[in-house]
Amino acid sequence: MASRFWVTGGTGNWNDTSNWSATSGGASGASVPGSADTAAFDASSGAGTAMLDISPTIQTLTCTGFTGTLAFGTNTISLNSTGTIFTGATTMTVTGTPLIICTNSSATSRTITPGAVTEANSISFRITAGTGSLALTAGSFRDIDFTDGTNPTGFAGTVTNTAITIYGNFKASTGMTRTAGASAYTFAATSGTKTINTAGVTFDNPFTFNGVGGTWQLQAALTSGATRTCTLTNGTLDLASYTLTTGIFSSTNSNVRTLAFGTGKIVVTGTNGTSWTTATSTGLTMTGTRTVELTGNGLAGETRAINSGSTSAGGSAANAANFYIKAGVDTISLGTISRAIGTVDFTGFSGSTLVNTTPVIYGDLVLSTGMTVTAGTGVWTFAATTSQTITTNGKTLDFPVTFDGIGGTWTMQDALTLGSTRTLTLTNGTLRLKNGTTSTVGSFATSGTNPKFLTSTTFGSQATISATTGTFVVNYLTVQDSIATGGATWDALAITNVDAGNNTGWLFSTTPSIGNEITMRLRSFTQPRRF
């Protein structure tokens, strides 16, 4: 094995003996490094450009102290040795399509040390073989490809737990593993769409996506562990159709960023802590299914927090995810400040909700038969402006409930029961109580001057609303197919209210109901009159 040092001061071709020396800064004329040799660029190599006029195979490449340029063009460098096979430098520049191929197929460990180079000067690595450990030491990479370039196989060893930055694509091989650990993979591209293919390999480490203008698109499922956090700081994370599994998902800042679910979903497996946070949702866009499943088996005494976007910090219907809490006997917090949430579905969950949680729900609500809905004074607000459903499965909502979405319709799938001291307030929209059932409230109120509607789920079939005591004076309310009963007085005497028919127990004024309205038509002045 021979050592070769780049010594030209200016621009020169790799495959030229006049650029190589046997010693650093020594006389030129040494042979071009071959497959049994090492190559080094250092401070004595000058600030010129080394042009790859061939695709050489060498043992190792060291660039420590090099201030020149390594011009790859369309050529590659193959490194066939073990140990530290590449050492980069933040002082050097690379051009072309920089790709280094690591070909050693032994079980001996290897280390790649690229340094914290910039995106522009990052180099792509392909590790085509080997069964030993591979340390990607803290630094920056362009593409990382663990396959042989043709097949889904290639590197079959273990990548150690190190934090790295990746500016390009990421492609795992089916036979590799990655040591679990807290060192993150940070994807930091600032342009283009980069792809991530984990090939079924579990990467039990944090993932961070942080590149202004960058887009990362999954090409397969991405799975990390129950204690790991997936963070979206800047850019667009596109799940395409795939499942992203993480312990915690975090995207709470005011940067412009997009979480594109496509037809995919995020599975959050963490327990006892914040499972999801988009608390500050300013600048956050969500598209696609927005499906988030919480599958962690939280234990009694533990709490999982869903800190979706605060309505005072950018949280809205447009960036509210849909949460499906599928397991656990712990406590679920939907936040004790107003947080925008899409659908909340507790099917499969057997724990309880946090006292005084105050969600603003833009989607459906499904309570599970086995859960406890904790009483409190926190208001649950249904704020959809589209049609949604509510399934209580016999649970009492022992807290105030408000319906407030212009154009929103909430269709009860079963009886709605509020605690005996709790008020149901209808501010905007249409509440359709389940026909043939009795919904119970502590009190009933309307708010504001917009029209609002109380009907049954089935036209012509009454739904009962009941309260034991009190006088409920309503305004701007249209009532249809409703039985009001229970001992309370249901005062709809104000002329702003409308008796739309088939009502019992409501007090209306003598203004005509809709059924008595006269149909008026303008006579046509464009058609000839018949006498």
Partner 1 sequence: MIQITFTINGFTDALHLADDHGLSDVEIEAMKQARYDKWDDFVKNPPAVVDEPVEE
Q: Which residues would be at the binding site for partner 1 (CB under 8 A)?
A: 135, 137-138, 150-152, 160-163, 179-183, 197, 199-200, 202, 204, 219-221, 223, 225-227, 241-243, 245, 263-265, 267, 269, 293, 295
Dihedral class, residue 189 (left if φ above 0, else alpha if ψ from -120 to 50, else beta) = beta
CA geometry: angle 238, 324, 319, nearest 5 deg: 45
What does the alpha-carbon distance between residue 118 and residue 167 come to, in Å, rounded to a whole number? 9
Closer to partner 1 at the Cβ: 202 or 356? 202
Measured from the CB of residue 269, what is the shortest distance to partner 1 in angstroms? 6
Measured from the CB of residue 298, what is the shortest distance to partner 1 in angstroms? 13
What does the alpha-carbon distance between residue 203 and residue 275 come to, in Å, rounded to a whole number? 18
Closer to partner 1 at the Cβ: 138 or 507? 138
Measured from the CB of residue 229, what is the shortest distance to partner 1 in angstroms? 13
Measured from the CB of residue 198, what is the shortest distance to partner 1 in angstroms? 9
Closer to partner 1 at the Cβ: 245 or 480? 245
Measured from the CB of residue 238, what is the shortest distance to partner 1 in angstroms? 14
Closer to partner 1 at the Cβ: 8 or 169? 169
Closer to partner 1 at the Cβ: 176 or 373? 176
Buried b vs exposed e over 114-131: b needs ≥16 C-beta within 10 Å? bbebebebbbbbbbbbbe
What does the alpha-carbon distance between residue 456 and residue 439 come to, in Å, rounded to a whole number? 11
Residues 6+ apart with CB under 8 A from 113: 84, 86, 87, 88, 137, 139
Classify residue 31 as exposed, middle or buried by CB count within 10 Å of its CB (0-12, 13-18, 19+): exposed
Going 457 to 462 to 468 to 472, the CA torsion angle's sign is: positive
472: how many CB neighbours lie within 10 A of its CB? 20
CA geometry: angle 349, 350, 353, nearest 5 deg: 85
What does the alpha-carbon distance between residue 102 and residue 390 come to, in Å, rounded to a whole number? 57
Q: Is residue 475 within 8 Å of residue 496, measured between CB atoms?
A: yes
CA atoms within 13 A on the CB side of 399: 19
Closer to partner 1 at the Cβ: 179 or 387? 179
Look-up: residue for tokens 């043709």?
A: 150
Closer to partner 1 at the Cβ: 7 or 260? 260
Closer to partner 1 at the Cβ: 259 or 267? 267
Strands (E), 103-225: 110-113, 124-127, 133-136, 139-141, 144-145, 158-159, 164-166, 170-171, 177-178, 185-187, 193-197, 207-218, 222-223
Measured from the CB of residue 153, what is the shortest distance to partner 1 in angstroms? 9
Question: If you ran DSSP here, which 8-state letter would residue 108 be given?
Answer: S
Measured from the CB of residue 375, what is the shortest distance to partner 1 in angstroms? 32
Look-up: residue for tokens 């926190």?
A: 378
Measured from the CB of residue 101, what is the shortest distance to partner 1 in angstroms? 18
Closer to partner 1 at the Cβ: 225 or 419? 225
For the CA atoms of 417, 422, 428, 430, what is the dihedral angle to 10 degrees?
10
Q: Is residue 206 within 8 Å of residue 187, measured between CB atoms?
A: no
Measured from the CB of residue 137, what is the shortest distance to partner 1 in angstroms? 7
Closer to partner 1 at the Cβ: 148 or 491? 148
Closer to partner 1 at the Cβ: 111 or 255? 111
Measured from the CB of residue 194, what is the shortest distance to partner 1 in angstroms? 16
Measured from the CB of residue 159, what is the shortest distance to partner 1 in angstroms? 10
Measured from the CB of residue 182, what is the shortest distance to partner 1 in angstroms? 5
Measured from the CB of residue 174, what is the shortest distance to partner 1 in angstroms? 8
Closer to partner 1 at the Cβ: 241 or 450? 241
Residues 6+ apart with CB under 8 A from 116: 90, 138, 139, 140, 165
Closer to partner 1 at the Cβ: 152 or 505? 152
CA atoms within 13 A on the CB side of 404: 16
